[in-house]
Chains A and B, each alone.
Chain A
Amino acid sequence: MERRRPIGFSPGSAAFAAAWVVGLGIARLTGSPAVVLLLVAAAATFAGSAIGAWFRLRRVVVDRIVAPTVATVGEDVPVSIILSDRDVVAAPVALTISTPHGAAPLARVDGAGAGAVTASIAFPAAGVVDELVVGVESAGAAGLLWWRGRARIAVEPIHVAPVAAGGLLPVEASARRDLDRLDRGHAARRGPTLGDLDGIRQWRDGDPDHAVHWPSTMRAGELIVRDRSVTTDRRWIVRLDRLRRRPSADGAPAQPSPAARLRQTLEEGLRRGHDVIVDDGSSDAGGRHVVRSADDAARWSALCAEAPPPPGPRPALHRRTLRLGHGDEPQTVSARARWLTAGAAFAAIGMLTGALTAAMTSYALAAAGIVAGVLVSVRYGAAGRVRPVWLRVVIGGAALTALVLIAADAQGVDGLLRALRGPLPDLLIALVVIHGFEATDRRTVRVHLAISSVVVAYATGLRIDDRVAWWLVAWGALVVAATRATAGTARRSADRAGGARTRPSAVAAGRWKAARLTASSAAVAAATVAVLGLVPIPDGPANLGLPALADDALAVDSPGALAGPDGSISRPGDRGDGTRGALGQVGGYPGFSETLDTSIRGDLGDEVVLRVKAPEPAFWRGQTFSDFDGRFWTVSPDRGRPQAGPTIEVPPTLGDDMGAPTSRFVQTFHVEADLPNVVFAASRPAVLMFEGTVHTRPDGALRAGSTLGAGSVYTVVSRRVEVTADSLRAQGDVGEWFAQFDDPQSIAALAPYLALPASTTERTVALAGRLRAATTYDTILAYEGWLAANTVYDIDAPVPADGTDAVDDYLFTARRGFCEQIASSLVVMLRSQGVPARLASGYLPGERDRVSGVWQVRARDAHAWVEVWFPGSGWQPFDPTAEVPLSGDVEQGTIGGDLVAAAISTIAGRLAEGAVAGAALLVGYALLRQALTIRRRRARGRWGLLQDRFTTLGSAVGEPAGPPLTNPLIARRLALAGPGRDGGGQRGDDVAFVATALDRVRFDPAWTDDDAEYGIVRDEIVRLERSARA
């Protein structure tokens, strides 16, 4: 007997598993939360489907099996499986029938019929079958994992007779003689020539023609022969022990089995009119059995064949382990499933081409290819259809051309990263489109879906825009629908055929099904979020982004100089015209120049300038300024040295490598708007992957050899010093520490960061001294607190008069200012207390898209902040105006937490819109329902609706397996079951009237619609419904 396997996989599921593993690889490679989300959602869906399938399996209970009692080997006989529960059997549930000894199932029924399932089976071997094994297989909606249950069901013995073929058995000599006599005719018969005429009988096969009794034949109209008293033995005795002969050694199939010959012999005897007797070889009188009919013959031969067959060769072990659990699933898929699959494939390709910013023509080309693929595969997918040669040639040619074009395009590509962005996506797209032509059966359709999911994972890793979530939702919906459609078999036609009578149970079942679907979807979603709640936001390489420079990047003529977005060189000491306001360019923030005027801010706008893929927020630092003259900040003149990409080791600068613990922090910057040649990076950049030359400056800033045009991409690996408030506090007062410091070289290096501008006023220093606390960290907090309490952030602060100290003006006169003034004040106050500090400019982290994990940085996020030198950890950013957590204080977030936060913020942010959309949906649903009701009303007519209500009433009193509910029967049952038995007679008449009226509508040719009658019938039905509720 076959080993019981409780679980099996559908063909093509391996492709999903493989796709999942590839997705895992992509997640590791890109660290994209969206890919992780995809993986977890897929796993949760699969688990949900599997659990649902298990529950469904438990609900299928086989009541009994109805089968014929006699069958022949290899001949189809119908077998009905009666199930206890009528509603269970829906796709994808399958029933298989097999014999207890048979390895392979004899028949398989896919989710057909309700209550009773009929299958055609052909028994492979002769014998008596008194139990059948019914295997119930159930896959969830996804149809990938099958659960199996097996039950042995006893049936009335089925006598499976071998095929009657081959020669006869040697029967008893007398019978043989008799046979010879009949064959050769009476003339050859020995003994008394012609027996006495004993009567007449009907003609049997083998009677000689001269035995015909013509007068009787004429009278009866059929052949009548003389029946004679036969002196010879008429018995046709077949000895069973003759059957027990050695089986043929080589098992040649040409030799008919003994049982087949037995049947042949018995039937031959019957045909010749003998008294056919089976002798089983036992000596007692009970050893002889009379065979009366062909059915008896079949039973005898089946009994003989029941002896265990000789052991055949065992199937090889590897075959058993390798065979997919569900290889015999029917392979055809519906056109609907095919189109949904194509939709998923197109969504996947759309995601990928969108990530690569492809042209419209690529979309159109891919769409055309996919549609052609569906048309071809639907047209030629059906069994037995063969593609014409020209079609194969065309498809093959197109595939070859595409591959050659990609290969030609890939020439000169070097390095894996480049391939990942270049020919690989093209190859994937071509693969999806070409495979679409081949996706004809379930296995290939599933493989197709798996390929598309790999494409999606890949695209998700590549994409950095904020539409990833919507693409994923659309693609996911299509894939779920496609998998469901692939898993399901052809819809039951009975549902549609029974249209004459709307079955209320079907309506209820539909509602129940919808509720179950909603509940399971919610459960899967909850499980996904719960699992994601445990998955930390990945901090791996942030992206598959390849270092790239935009085509329109402008080379900077002067090496190491700072160029604006338009390529104009900013020179040290170039102080601008002193006006404020729009600088005309996005990214034209004054902080990105050699000299920063603290009184100029500018109107920067909302445009996205950078998309940064990074696991955590950080300041994206562009420049640091050391020299301050009271109004203008100036960068240090040392331009550093140029280093060529694509991989640049950034040498440590002052304040780096202080021995504090650091952590790797990978960011990939996608430049979305034209920016100056400032290379932004989180402090402190260690490795830079950049296409081109970069000047690594000793002040920590990086300057590219050309401007960063929109479309440029680079990756920075930073080593962030892990600091917390406590670790900073532990470093005590930096001013005191510095006063005791006696390394002249370091003192000299740090001197510029302690220099106060000449214009610094006494009251500024006094304020700083007054607010100074025990530790520098607390001092900074005190300064920030004072600034927050006594000054106002105002982007329209007045410009201080020429010659006045900007810090003094801000702190004591205007008390209004923006980030440059606030940060400058903090620097001056700290320097006055002997703490090294400098000004940094760059961008705030921006806003995070929770699904793709990308920080969107807008032009208005341009910012200036303070960096304070700590002896233990180097330069540490502080910002009195924005809240960016300390690197060590960032809590390790999880994807699930992020997702929930995003959902909450989205919902909270769009409460009104959501409410309106929800209301619109509700109204739309109500309208649709109403329209459907009206349509149904039109189709059914008013009497039809009454009939439905009456049928609903009747189904409450019906029996599950009783006679069909006709209107008079419903009336009788209602009259009997009704509560008003006291007034039973009257009531029974009324109900009978309803039944008659409803029947007349359809079956009485003389019927005419009558409002009065309709009113009476409706009132009576309403009354019945009321009493049924009560």
Chain B
Amino acid sequence: MDTLPPPLAAASLRSAGASNGGPRTRGAPDKSAEVAALGARLVGALDSVLAGKQATTEIAVETLFAGGHLLIEDVPGVGKTLLAQSLARAVGGTFGRIQGTSDLLPGDITGSLFPTADGHAMAFRRGPVFANVVVFDELNRATPRTQSALLEVAEESTVTIDGVSHRLPAPFMLVATQNPIEIAGTYGLGEGALDRFAAVVAPGRATAEHELDVLTGRRGRAMLSALEPVTSPEEIERAVRWVAGVHVTDDVAAYVVALLAATRDHPRVRLGASTRGGVALIGLARARAARRGRTYVVPDDVVALAGPVLGHRVLVRDGTGATTAGREVVAECLAASPPPAV
């Protein structure tokens, strides 16, 4: 059993953070360039598979760097699953895949206790969630009960079975997909579940030339097998630690707070964005800054990411399940609150 008791895990994390240091330590330019190069490699790798989805792949990489989870939401056939799989391959490390069905049970994801061969003891058999990148396809086809099993996984990166917490490997990233249009036989994600995802992206349809690329096999699933890992889990983990140390001034943080408040005051909103949304927004903004080789966050990062990060956390009164209405609200809030500047 390779599970660490939680206190020990926390301690090791702290010491690792201290030794590695953030961008403010000496030698920052080298390190920031390194992280930026890593980001560029990942985005390039994803782009070699996915045609014309650069904005989406960038957010996916930023989510990875921020240590968050990604929900890909769009109509069928736009490469949701492909994006998730490509990300998993490009990162290297282990890869788990779960197909959401209505009879899926929590134990099928997290793993469960099985009798050992001698029949006297129970042993924990790990579920598919124990991997660096876990692709949960068609998340909304799983029952709420199964979806709920993901809550702990997503938030704490641990699985607790029979009183024992099992730590997931680091880095751990959950990439889920869902189709918001087809709702027959699905269970919409609750606010709590949605809130666990750092960002929600909607890749959208490809343009004609990109579709041509896909149909001729220059891009698309055909290229997936050719995709080699461009990094290692260790390198990703270092990058995540680096990103966590990217500087955020109080002005930018205050701007995020103002945005959150604006979503809560918006007339169309039933439930505004949570504080966790703000944390995720800062985290992704840090990742975006690091991916661009900066050691500090600028308001532009916040503006660029507010839609993907906050859109699904805003519960719109007349909204239909999709997060598009939420994004509109966030865009209105953005337009109403001027960002800080010199």
Residues of A within 8 A of B (CB): 66-70, 77-80, 116, 118, 156, 220, 498, 500-501, 503, 940-941, 943-944, 946-947, 951, 961-969, 998-1006
Partner of A947, one of B251, B270, B334, B342: B342
- List of B residues within 8 angstroms of A66 by Cβ: 267-268
Check if B249 sits within 8 Å of A1005, measured CB to CB.
yes
The number of chain B residues with a CB under 8 A from chain A is 32
- List of B residues within 8 angstroms of A1001 by Cβ: 342
CB distance from A970 to the nearest CB of B (A): 10
CB distance from A156 to the nearest CB of B (A): 7
- List of A residues within 8 angstroms of B295 by Cβ: 1004, 1006
Check if B24 sits within 8 Å of A1005, measured CB to CB.
yes
- List of B residues within 8 angstroms of A946 by Cβ: 342
- Rounded to whole angstroms, the CA-CA distance of A965 and B339 in the bound complex is 8
- List of A residues within 8 angstroms of B300 by Cβ: 966-969, 999
CB distance from A639 to the nearest CB of B (A): 90
Check if B318 sits within 8 Å of A68, measured CB to CB.
yes
Partner of A943, one of B252, B334, B338, B342: B342
CB distance from B237 to the nearest CB of A (A): 25
Interface pairs (25), CB distance under 8 Å: A68-B267, A68-B268, A78-B267, A500-B340, A501-B340, A503-B338, A941-B342, A943-B342, A947-B341, A947-B342, A963-B303, A963-B331, A964-B303, A964-B338, A964-B339, A965-B339, A966-B339, A966-B341, A968-B298, A968-B300, A999-B300, A1000-B296, A1003-B249, A1003-B251, A1006-B295
Check if A966 sits within 8 Å of B303, measured CB to CB.
yes
Check if B341 sits within 8 Å of A156, measured CB to CB.
no
- List of A residues within 8 angstroms of B8 by Cβ: none
Which B residues from 229 to 257 make CB contacts under 8 A with A? 247, 249, 251-252
CB distance from A117 to the nearest CB of B (A): 11
Check if B267 sits within 8 Å of A67, measured CB to CB.
yes
Interface-central residue, A67, A965, A999, by most chain B CB under 10 Å: A999
Cβ-closest chain B residue relative to A80: B267
Check if A501 sits within 8 Å of B267, measured CB to CB.
no
Check if A79 sits within 8 Å of B340, measured CB to CB.
no
Q: Is residue B297 within 8 Å, beta carbon to beta carbon, of the partner chain?
A: yes
Check if A1004 sits within 8 Å of B247, measured CB to CB.
yes
Check if B335 sits within 8 Å of A963, measured CB to CB.
yes
Q: Given A116-B336, A498-B338, A1003 and B296 touching (CB < 8 A)? A: yes
Check if B336 sits within 8 Å of A998, measured CB to CB.
no
- Rounded to whole angstroms, the CA-CA distance of A1005 and B289 in the bound complex is 14
Partner of B338, one of A501, A941, A944, A1006: A501
- Rounded to whole angstroms, the CA-CA distance of A941 and B342 in the bound complex is 9
Q: Is residue B111 within 8 Å, beta carbon to beta carbon, of the partner chain?
A: no
Further pairs besides A503-B338, A963-B331, A1005-B296: 10, Cβ < 8 Å: A78-B267, A156-B318, A501-B338, A501-B341, A946-B342, A964-B334, A964-B338, A1000-B296, A1004-B295, A1004-B296
Check if B249 sits within 8 Å of A1002, measured CB to CB.
yes
- Rounded to whole angstroms, the CA-CA distance of A498 and B297 in the bound complex is 21
Q: Is residue B299 within 8 Å, beta carbon to beta carbon, of the partner chain?
A: yes
- List of A residues within 8 angstroms of B338 by Cβ: 498, 500-501, 503, 964
- List of B residues within 8 angstroms of A498 by Cβ: 338
Q: Is residue B317 within 8 Å, beta carbon to beta carbon, of the partner chain?
A: yes
Check if A998 sits within 8 Å of B341, measured CB to CB.
yes
- List of A residues within 8 angstroms of B252 by Cβ: 1003
CB distance from B50 to the nearest CB of A (A): 23
- Rounded to whole angstroms, the CA-CA distance of A188 and B90 in the bound complex is 64
Cβ-closest chain A residue relative to B299: A966
CB distance from A974 to the nearest CB of B (A): 14
- List of A residues within 8 angstroms of B299 by Cβ: 964, 966, 999, 1003
- List of A residues within 8 angstroms of B341 by Cβ: 500-501, 947, 951, 966-967, 998, 1002
- Rounded to whole angstroms, the CA-CA distance of A70 and B268 in the bound complex is 11
Q: Is residue B275 within 8 Å, beta carbon to beta carbon, of the partner chain?
A: no
Cβ-closest chain A residue relative to B248: A1003
- List of B residues within 8 angstroms of A967 by Cβ: 298, 300, 341
- List of A residues within 8 angstroms of B342 by Cβ: 940-941, 943-944, 946-947, 998, 1001-1002
- List of A residues within 8 angstroms of B165 by Cβ: none
Q: Is residue B337 within 8 Å, beta carbon to beta carbon, of the partner chain?
A: yes
Check if A79 sits within 8 Å of B296, measured CB to CB.
no
Which B residues from 132 to 159 make CB contacts under 8 A with A? 145
Q: Which 5 A-B pairs have the closest CB atoms?
A: A78-B267, A966-B300, A947-B342, A968-B300, A999-B298
- List of A residues within 8 angstroms of B28 by Cβ: 1006
Check if B339 sits within 8 Å of A79, measured CB to CB.
no
- List of B residues within 8 angstroms of A1004 by Cβ: 247, 294-296
Partner of A1005, one of B247, B266, B303, B339: B247
Check if B303 sits within 8 Å of A969, measured CB to CB.
yes
- Rounded to whole angstroms, the CA-CA distance of A1003 and B299 in the bound complex is 9
- List of B residues within 8 angstroms of A79 by Cβ: 267
Q: Given A67-B267, A156-B318, A1005-B247, A964 and B298 touching (CB < 8 A)? A: no
- List of B residues within 8 angstroms of A962 by Cβ: 335
- Rounded to whole angstroms, the CA-CA distance of A1005 and B297 in the bound complex is 10
- Rounded to whole angstroms, the CA-CA distance of A944 and B341 in the bound complex is 8
- List of B residues within 8 angstroms of A70 by Cβ: 317
Contact mask B2-39 → A, CB, 8 Å, 1/0?
Answer: 00000000000000000000001000100000000000
- List of B residues within 8 angstroms of A1003 by Cβ: 247, 249, 251-252, 296-299
Partner of B318, one of A69, A941, A947, A999: A69
Cβ-closest chain A residue relative to B336: A116
CB distance from A593 to the nearest CB of B (A): 85
CB distance from A904 to the nearest CB of B (A): 51
CB distance from B57 to the nearest CB of A (A): 19
CB distance from B87 to the nearest CB of A (A): 26
CB distance from A902 to the nearest CB of B (A): 52
Which B residues from 303 to 342 make CB contacts under 8 A with A? 303, 317-318, 331, 334-342
Cβ-closest chain A residue relative to B148: A220
- List of A residues within 8 angstroms of B251 by Cβ: 500, 1002-1003
Cβ-closest chain A residue relative to B247: A1005
Q: Given A68-B268, A70-B317, A966-B298, A1002 and B335 touching (CB < 8 A)? A: no
CB distance from A713 to the nearest CB of B (A): 67
Cβ-closest chain A residue relative to B335: A961
Cβ-closest chain B residue relative to A951: B341
- Rounded to whole angstroms, the CA-CA distance of A69 and B342 in the bound complex is 41
Cβ-closest chain B residue relative to A945: B342
- List of B residues within 8 angstroms of A220 by Cβ: 145
